[in-house]
Structure formats: structure tokens, C-alpha cells
Chain A
Amino acid sequence: MSMNEFKPKIVAFCCNWCSYAGADLAGNNRLNYPADVKIIRVPCSCRVNPMFILRAFQKGADGVIICGCHPGDCHYTSGNYYTRRRMALLFSMLDYLGIERERTRLEWVSAAEGAKFSQTMNEFVEAVTALGENKRLEDLRCKE
């Protein structure tokens, strides 16, 4: 029962030019995705500093997902290519420190992919719910 009651807090960094519009489209099409997902709009997925991700975990997030334009479709030509390298290394480092791999994810969602947005978020929330609360990157001082 207690596992079912757990509602994860998910932070989704969404690129203004694609995934953020994708989320809008999901809304327009009445496609459900969990209300636990809190979207933060960024100008490009490469705006996401690794510190943002750690900070989100510090302040109580249980999972962080970064959504950007498909490779080749970046509004700024190449931003998401840098994101891809950075996140591969950061996720690998978090894994190396023993932090659950499932808590971080990078997905490419275009403005036309409302359905993909909804499906991605549903999957991600499900995976994080299965993991339970974030204990390994929490900051007790930030707990309510």
C-alpha cells in the first residue's frame, strides 16, 4: 500500500522550441501525463547545467528528465549535441557514485510529438515511483 501512495516529484527541463511545445500539444490533445512532473522551461537543452540537476535533487526531486530537440533539429544548430555529451558523462558519473541510474534521463521530444511527451513522462514517473524516494542525493536541510 505504502508504495502505491508514494508520489515522486519529477523535474522536467524542457527546451522552449520543442519539448515545451510538445507538452502543450499533449495538453491540447488531452493526453494524460502525471501531475507529478514539474516543467521548467529552458531556452535550449544545453542550458541545463549539471548543477541544476543536482540542485533539483537537493531540493527534493526524485527524478530529473531533460527534454530537447532531436539531434540535428536544434534551434541553435548544435546545442543538443553538447547536451548529449554532457549528460552521457554526468549520468555515468552519477552511476559511478552509486546513485540510481533511473533517476536521470535525457529524451528528444519535438514540438509535434505530444504523444511521445506524454508516453515518456508516464514511463519515467513509473520508473521513479518503482525506485522510491530519492535518498542518495537528498539534503536533509531542504526537507520540510
Chain B
Amino acid sequence: MQRVTRDALVKKATELLSAGTVDRVLGWRAGEFSYDVTPYVFSNAEALEKDFVFDDFCGANFSKYLIKECGKSEGKVLVFLKPCDTYSFNQLQTEHRFDREKVYAVGIPCEGMVDITKIREKAEGISSVEVEDSGYVVKTLYDGDVKLTAEEALAERCLSCKSKKHVAYDELLGEEGEVLDSNRFSEVEKLEAMTPDERFAFWKGELSRCIRCNACRDVCPACSCEKCVFDNPKSGVENKAIADSFEEKMFHIIRAFHVAGRCTDCGECSRVCPQNIPLHLLNRKFIKDINGFYGEYQAGEEVGSRAPLVNYTTEDLEPSEAVGKGDGENA
């Protein structure tokens, strides 16, 4: 259950529109079902009143939309940012990807967003999901109502939320949150504890499901290059029929590497993956390594901070010190 209501957001947006502070609003609109909420640009109060939604299904991170949206008119765009979105917002600003002057950012508190695939695992034939104070009531076509606790329905990234604090905003609705002491690396640690054979089997199982739809890349706020290395027809990873498992490994290793040090761990990659591949575990591995090797670093915490991979010290660990040489233990 979210602490700010949809009506409070519509009221704020309408005020700012009528005052002329902004000329459009980046918000969420209901999709075909109540649970497939989609990003939308509203330009007047009527549209806001009619279509704007805000509930536990509004997981989308709007930061990346600002890159294109900022250039579209002279006026400002209003954007609603959840705490985790503000990290991406800062990171994109650090990379000079949008004009801060053209954005009016309203921070909104977040109590965690629902992962519809988790609900689908528990309830078949969902017709609607009702949000209650203590959990969710899923109305289904065949099995009647299914009650779920917050834990059962919330996205993994929200259960291990790293911060309720907004690191950037022009205006804040609700109260300032705190950076949380999250256990977000526990899954990574579990994998690290496995043998190389088990890890290989795990990732082969996960990555071989990849259909190369590029959704993870397209939604990722860190993947904002105008031209992507994977758009090169010569890159050899654009084939439709996956003839070999190499391509997925190549794509996902390189993608994770390209965002390493800039990834804010917003978890959008895993949210949009139609094959439910836990892609955030690749990014979190890099974040965990960076924290371990080069000191704690949270991308997007402040504007202008230097990402660890475009930085160095003369005392850095050698790869053999950091990850060992192997010494035959994998053989």
C-alpha cells in the first residue's frame, strides 16, 4: 500500500500545470489490466484526471525517459521519482544525459512495488488485484480470491530495498526517508558459495532462456548510449535463432560490464525481462566487487561523482589478488 495517493499526485500535477511551472507530466497510465501500468506523458488536467494512476504496480523508473522528453519543448517536464529512481536520475545527470533545468522532479515515497510474475505463480487467471493495508487480494477467474502477504507479492528488488531516501528532487511529497541497511547481496553470496560447476549450470539455465529481445538494455537508465555496440550488425549477437549459448553469455556479460560502476541497482532489467532472468544478480556482482575492491560506492548518490571504472589508485588490487589465480580448484 502506497502512502501517497493517486489523488495527491494528480492534485500536485494539476497545480504545477496550471501555474505554468511545467507543461507536461511524466506519469503512469493504466494498461489493459489494472496491473499492467504503463508510462505516459500527460499534457493537460483532463487527461490526468481520466487516466493517471498511482498504485503498487507503478514500478517503472522514469529517469531514462527524461533523455528524450527534455528536448521536446521549451517548457519543463514534471517527473515523479521514487527513492530508487532518484539514483538513476543523478547518475544520468552526472553523465550529462538531460538538461536538469528542464525538469521539475517531485519525490514520492515508495512502500515497494508488486512483481506481477510472483503473483502469477501463486494465482492463475488473474482478473484484478486489490491492494489492502496488509497485503493483496487477487481476484481470479477459477480459484476465487487469493490472499497474498506483501512479502509474497513485492518485487525482489523492493524486498531488499537499498534506500528510502530521495537523493534528488525539487519538491518532496511526504517525508524524507533513510538509506536502508539492505541484504541485497545475499543472493550473490549464495552463488559465490557454489562450486564453479554449479554456478555454470545455474547461469546456463538462466541465460539460455534469453530471447534477445533487448528489453533489459532498452529500459536500463545506464544503457543510454546513442549507439549501442550490440546494434552493430557485425557484432554477431543480433541473430534471431539462437544457435549457440555463447551469444547470451556475450551479451549479458558485456552489458553488465558496460554499466558496471554506473548501475544504480534500480532493478529495472529484471522487472522487464519477459523470461524472468535474474539479471540484477550480474549487476549486483559488479557492485559487490567494486565495493570490496575499491571501497563503497553507490552510483547516483551524488551528482558528479567519479565512477570506479573511470578512476584508479596506484595501490589497486591485482586481479590475481582480488579473485585469485584459480590454482587448479576449478579443473
Which residues of A pack against B, CB within 8 Å?
A: 50-51, 54, 58, 71-72, 78, 81-82, 84-102, 105-106, 127, 130-132, 136-141
Contact = CB atoms under 8 A, between A and B. Distances in A.
B267 to A, nearest CB: 18
B246 A91 contact: no
Contacts of B324: 101
Give 9 closest A-B pairs by Cβ, nearest first: A98-B200, A101-B326, A98-B199, A81-B312, A102-B326, A139-B246, A88-B319, A88-B322, A100-B330
Interface string B227-269: 0010000000000000110110110011011001000000000
A32 B320 CA distance: 25
A78 B311 CA distance: 10
A132 to B, nearest CB: 8
Interface in B264-308: 282, 285-286, 289-290, 293-294, 308
Interface stretch (B145-153, B174-182, B190-198): B190-198
Contacts of B203: 97-98
Interface of B: 188, 191-192, 196-204, 229, 243-244, 246-247, 249-250, 253-254, 256-257, 260, 282, 285-286, 289-290, 293-294, 308-314, 316-320, 322-331
Interface of A, helix, strand, loop or mixed by DSSP: helix
Contact of A51 (B254, B286, B314, B331): B254
Nearest to A135: B200
B250 A58 contact: yes
Given A97-B203, A101-B326, A102-B331, A92 B289 contact: yes
A98 B257 CA distance: 16
Nearest to B329: A101
B256 A93 contact: yes
Nearest to A143: B244
A93 B286 contact: yes
Nearest to B316: A84
B331 to A, nearest CB: 5
Contacts of A90: 253, 257
B291 to A, nearest CB: 12
A139 B246 CA distance: 5
A105 B316 CA distance: 16
Given A54-B254, A85-B294, A92-B289, A97 B314 contact: no
Contacts of A71: 314
A141 B196 contact: no
A50 B319 CA distance: 14
Contact of A89 (B243, B260, B310, B313): B260
A9 B109 CA distance: 55
B281 to A, nearest CB: 9
Given A81-B312, A84-B318, A101-B323, A94 B331 contact: no
A85 B309 contact: yes
Contacts of A96: 188, 191-192, 199, 282, 285
A93 B257 contact: yes
29 contacts: A51-B250, A51-B254, A54-B250, A54-B254, A81-B312, A84-B312, A85-B308, A88-B289, A88-B317, A88-B322, A92-B285, A93-B285, A93-B286, A96-B285, A97-B249, A98-B199, A98-B201, A100-B331, A102-B325, A102-B326, A102-B327, A105-B319, A105-B325, A106-B320, A127-B328, A131-B330, A138-B246, A139-B246, A139-B247
